[in-house]
Amino acid sequence: MALIGNQTFALSRFWTSKTIQLVKIHRDLFSKAKLRDARKELIAGANVISGIQGWMLAAQLIQKIKSGEYELTDFARAVDKNDFKLEKSSTWWAIHLAICFSERNEPYASFFTSLENISKDWLKFDDIKNKIDSKIEDAAKGSLNPNLEGVRNMFKDDRPLEDLGLIEIKEKEFIRLGSPKLTDEIIAHAVARMKFHCFKSRPSVSFSEVTQTGLAHFLCCSNDELRKHLRRMEQSNNWKSCFSFTEAVNVDSVSFGQECDPQTTVLKLLQSGKDTWL
């Protein structure tokens, strides 16, 4: 299990956009030889540089080519082309979903799935940490606390993800899922990310399998609300090529269309997504 490796630090708009620009030119930005240059360009210490690298990998904005060298992903290039300064709420929804469905998504994903998505009760941070600790492999336990602290920091101090309303924090120690504005573009891209990460070779899955991926938690809604969204979108011609939702007596299911691909849906989200800043 690969944790994010955020070194307790949250990812800012400046660090994200600046790193995208730097990696375009310097593939060896995160090498030891370039550490001094990276610190100067990103105005950050060595530990922060390591945290930025971890977040950028978890968000699927960069990918490793070989030891010490990275390149931008197609997702990062789409962000760079459509939202150079990372000012759109749709960009940060895309980043959030990329982390949720990433090979390095822990403890970010478990942070969301450990929260109540029906009643949205307040939980203590220590209780959330204990829940996640019970699921994390022993080899990763020593890194859980700093990684989880970095995840919590993503939703504090006016960070972009805080402004989406994904997570609410009260009195520093009480946390619950928020009630963000959900658009069809966000949901379609979430379904595509889920398919690519969890069901890459499957043409269809049951709705119960969908709920097991944590999709509803990542969208900060209940499973019933997610079902209603999919049912409503099924009745629109706009998403027929992305997915279809079939209701049956015993098993509801989701079938994936040709355009249920993150590279396709992220462009619709970045180019046509409505403003959902709170």
- How many whole angstroms separate alpha carbon 150 and alpha carbon 31? 22
Determine the pLDDT at residue 249.
Answer: 81
Residue 274 has a pLDDT of 95
Separation between Cα atoms, residue 137 and residue 120, nearest integer Å: 27
According to DSSP, the residues that pair with 246 across neighbouring strands are 253
User: Per-domain residue ranges for the chain?
Assistant: 13-83, 108-177, 184-272
pTM over 0.95? The answer is yes
Q: How do residues 173-195 score in pLDDT, each as one tens digit?
A: 999 999 999 999 999 999 999 99
The pLDDT, as a whole number, for residue 158 is 87
Low-confidence ranges of the chain (pLDDT < 50): none
> How many residues belong to the chain?
278
Give the pLDDT of residue 133: 87
How many angstroms separate the CA atoms of 155 and 263, rounded?
26
3-state DSSP call for residue 87? coil
Identify the CATH number of the domain defined by range 184-272.
1.10.10.1420
- CATH 3.30.530.20 for domain 13-83: no
d(CA 154, CA 156): 6
pLDDT at site 139: 53
Backbone phi and psi for residue 259, each to the nearest 5 degrees, phi listed first: -95, 15
- The pLDDT score that the predictor gives to residue 248 is 86
> One fold for both 13-83 and 184-272?
yes
> What is the per-residue pLDDT across 215-230, written as a single tens digit (0 to 9) for each?
999 999 999 999 999 9
Alpha carbon distance 80, 24 (integer Å):
10
- Res 134: pLDDT: 83
Q: Pick from 58, 57, 71, 61: which is nearest to 28 by CA?
A: 71
List helix spans (H) across 101-222: 108-113, 125-133, 144-153, 160-163, 184-198, 207-212, 215-218
